[in-house]
Amino acid sequence: MSAGWIERLRERMAPRGQAQPGHSGARYASSPLLTAKTPIWRSRLVLITLGLSFSLLFGRALYVQVIDKEFFQAQGESRYQRTFELQASRGRITDRNGEVLAASVPAPSVWMIPKDFQATPAQLTELARLVDLPPADLTAKAREGGNFVWLRRLVDDATATRIREMKVKGVFLQREYRREYPEGEAAAHVVGFTNLEERGQEGVELAFQKRLEGRKGSRSVVRDRLGRVVEDIGEIIEPEDGQDIALSIDNKVQFVAYQRLREAVSQHNAKAGSAVVLDVRTGEVLALVNYPSYKPGDRSTRIGENLRNRALTDTFEPGSTMKPFIAAQAIQTGRVKPETIIQTAPGSITITGSTIRDSHPHGALTVEQVIQKSSNVGTVKLAMQMQPREMWELYRSVGFGLKPEMEFPGLASGRLRPYKSWRPIEQATMSYGYGLSASLFQLAHAYTVFARDGQIVPVTLQKQPAPVEGVQIFRPEVALSVRKMLGMAAGDGGTAPKAQALGYSVGGKTGTAHKQEGKGYAGNKYRAWFVGLAPLKAPRIVVAVMVDEPSNGRYFGGDVAAPVFSQVVQQTLRVMGVPPDREVTPQIIARSQAAKAEEESF
């Protein structure tokens, strides 16, 4: 080997960092960077930094997987999982014969996942038109982000079909139910209505909410990135439909009462009106109507005065309709007989400085004639023989001052002050219906005591299969005597000959009163009503009619409310299949309608 080659081999085999003799390269072992000592704090800092990093990672993992596990799972699941509510069908409301008054029908609603929404300008414009939103508002909803927003609830089938055909990404249809009311305005104040979530807001819809609503179901699904359902998760909970409610209302009677009432309000240029029809055997409400009314399915009509269920919520001084109760109590206690003479001359009576008058002097009247002629003086003379407590207990026994025991919202109790606070003049005026207040429904209920041979019967809005027992207030013969008086009041020489009905005997009592305004009474505003029963010998129904502020020249109850009573009675009894109990020709009825009524004292 040559000496040069041997020398090069030694250099290669020599340890690195050791310079070979005669070599002129760099000396690495003597470099100041390699020979300097590393500070101990630097290695510790690195170790601490690594330790803190691992601690933070561990803490975050602990928080995500243990401490707030549910939140993060929910956030993750929301990306692919959705739970849909399965709507229960709300129960139907029917009349006593099974005719539908309210029912739920399927109706699609439009909703959107804002974060997934994608639409071309043309689709955006068309979708905005279909959901009745300005395009700018629709765009704003999409920009809100999130996973759910309603675009429009309860659309028609044509709109739903068009939206489905557009296939806009992020827009979906969901089946809900829309409430429909076939009888519209006629039954509105009985049935009521629901909101968009099908929760009752008024009437029977509100009163029987728990029974009608049923129970919602649910379905959990997995969706893909396009929002399409891939599979179900867990068990599907089927919805449980609500119960049907069968009311005591007779659809035909309800419609007739509404039509006749509306005509009367229009004819007399009145502000409003109400009517109630009760079956005296069962206590069932066969009809309850008010005018003006509203369309339950049309939100634009559900405003202000239209919503007032006047028959149940409005109270007023019942006026002369209270007189039969005073006569009944006087006979019940043996103070008088129906034929007892009461001297009403000179047509006025003064009590503690206040004078009470009849519309005109009547002279001597029997108790029967006091009711027939509606004499204030005769009634006051009967009432002032009683103690205040006796009168108070009488009125309470037939429901005045008490809320009717019936499942319905907004029932008024009226006003009947404690007897201990009555002054003599107040006792006198309360005998003919001033100084207390009641609703039309309370009046109708109270008159069942005369129709049921002295029993006051419980009332109900639900169908009652059999007659019910009442509470005995008067002896049967007393009730029979008062029925005769009511028949006289509705006949020739009484205050309401216009109450006569074709084919049926009737009896009842008129009421007319100035309307209260502030602390006094309006001089030219009246409320007219009539409460009666038919057929007179064996009553089946009580009918009460009230017309508020008639202003077409006539305002007495016998002229304004009694004709409505007549029409409702004859048509209701025919619907019920009650045979006529008297031979009355249309000519006789025409003469009765044309006869001059006894002017009522009020």
C-alpha of 83 from chain center: 31
The three-state secondary structure class of 545 is: strand
Catalytic option among 109, 320, 397, 431: 320
Element (H, E) at 455: strand 455-456
Residue position matching structure tokens 């639900």: 462
Say which DSSP state 461 is in.
S
Q: Of 596, 398, 359, 555, whose CA–CA distance to 482 is shortest? A: 398
Please tell me the distance from the alpha carbon of residue 75 to that of residue 77, in angstroms, as a whole number: 5
CA-to-CA distance for 126 and 120, rounded, in angstroms? 10
Alpha-carbon Rg for the chain, nearest whole angstrom, is: 42
Task: Determine the Cα–Cα distance for residues 187 and 537; give it in Å rounded to an integer.
Answer: 31
Q: Report the distance separating Cα 559 and Cα 347, nearest Å.
A: 23
Asked if 187 and 249 count as a contact pair (C-beta separation under 8 A), the reply is yes
Please give the structure tokens belonging to residue 245. Answer: 């409610």
Letter for the amino acid at 472? Q
Alpha carbon distance 143, 541 (integer Å): 63
SS3 482: helix
Closest CA to 84 of 154, 198, 174: 174
Residue 535: asked if its preceding bond is cis (omega within 30°), the reply is: yes
Give the tokens for residue 232: 């179900």
Using alpha carbons, select from 549, 565, 332 the residue that is nearest to residue 443.
565
Q: Is 2 a catalytic residue?
A: no
Cα separation, 170 vs 116, in Å, equals 5
- Known catalytic residues are 320
